[in-house]
Structure 1
Amino acid sequence: MKYPQGWKKFCNWRKKNPDISLPSHLNLSELNRFAARFRLAQSYEGMILTDYPESTVNAYSSLFGVFLAYSALEQLYKAVGKPGDSIITEWGIIDKENADKLRRSSQILTFLHDKVSNNQLRKRIDEFRVGNDDNILVIAQALRHLIAHGIMTIYVKNVFAKTSINFCNLVKKIVLDKTQNCFTEYIKNSIA
Structure 2
Amino acid sequence: MSKKNYPKAWRRFATQVNQSDHQVSVELGNKFDRLARWAARFRLAKSFKKLDLGDHYASPLTPQLYSAITRIFLTYTAFETYCRIIGLNPSQEAQLEAWQNEQSQTTIIQEIRRLDPKHTFSSFLEEHLEGVALKRMMRDFIEGKDVNISFLARCTRHIFAHGVLTAHSSNLSVKRFEEVSQIISDFLINCMDQDFDSRVAK
Structure 1 partner of 2:15: 12
The CA deviation at 1:85 is 7.7
Matches within 5 A, 1:16-31: 16-17=19-20, 22-23=26-27, 27-31=31-35
Root-mean-square deviation over aligned CA pairs: 2.4
Q: Percent identity?
A: 25
* Amino acid paired to 1:42: K
1:56-115 Cα distance to aligned partner (Å, 9 max, x none): 111110110011111111111121224x68553223334222212222420100001111
1:134-164 Cα distance to aligned partner (Å, 9 max, x none): 4221111101111222221231354222222
Query: Structure 1 residues 149, 157: closer, same or farther in 2, change over 3 A?
Result: closer
Q: Is the contact made by 2:9 and 2:197 (CA closer than 8 Å) also made in structure 1?
A: yes
Aligned-partner Cα distance in 2 for 1:91–1:33:
21
Aligned-partner Cα distance in 2 for 1:137–1:21:
27
Aligned-partner Cα distance in 2 for 1:184–1:88:
22
Aligned-partner Cα distance in 2 for 1:157–1:74:
24
Aligned-partner Cα distance in 2 for 1:174–1:85:
15
The CA deviation at 1:11 is 0.5
SS in 1 for 2:26: coil
Structure 2 partner of 1:185: 198
Structure 2 partner of 1:56: 62
- TM-score (norm: length of structure 2): 0.82
Moved more, 32-41 or 157-166: 157-166
Query: Structure 1 residues 89, 184: closer, same or farther in 2, change over 3 A?
Result: farther
Structure 2 partner of 1:89: 94
Query: Structure 1 residues 2, 119: closer, same or farther in 2, change over 3 A?
Result: same
* Amino acid paired to 1:184: D
* Amino acid paired to 2:50: G
Q: Is the contact made by 2:75 and 2:185 (CA closer than 8 Å) also made in structure 1?
A: yes
* Amino acid paired to 1:141: R
Moved more, 65-74 or 100-109: 100-109
User: Which of 33, 36, 42 is 1:38 aligned to?
Assistant: 42
User: Which of 32, 47, 50 is 2:51 aligned to?
Assistant: 47
The CA deviation at 1:167 is 1.7
SS in 2 for 1:91: helix
User: Which of 159, 171, 175 is 1:162 aligned to?
Assistant: 175
Query: Structure 1 residues 35, 114: closer, same or farther in 2, change over 3 A?
Result: same
Aligned residue pairs: how many?
A: 188
| Unaligned ranges ≥5, structure 2 | none
* Amino acid paired to 1:41: A
Query: Structure 1 residues 80, 25: closer, same or farther in 2, change over 3 A?
Result: farther
Matches within 5 A, 1:111-130: 111-130=124-143
1:7-61 Cα distance to aligned partner (Å, 9 max, x none): 0000000111478772389633221111010011111111001222222111110
Aligned-partner Cα distance in 2 for 1:186–1:152:
36
* Amino acid paired to 1:69: T
Q: Is the contact made by 2:66 and 2:167 (CA closer than 8 Å) also made in structure 1?
A: yes
Aligned-partner Cα distance in 2 for 1:113–1:25:
40
- TM-score (norm: length of structure 1): 0.86
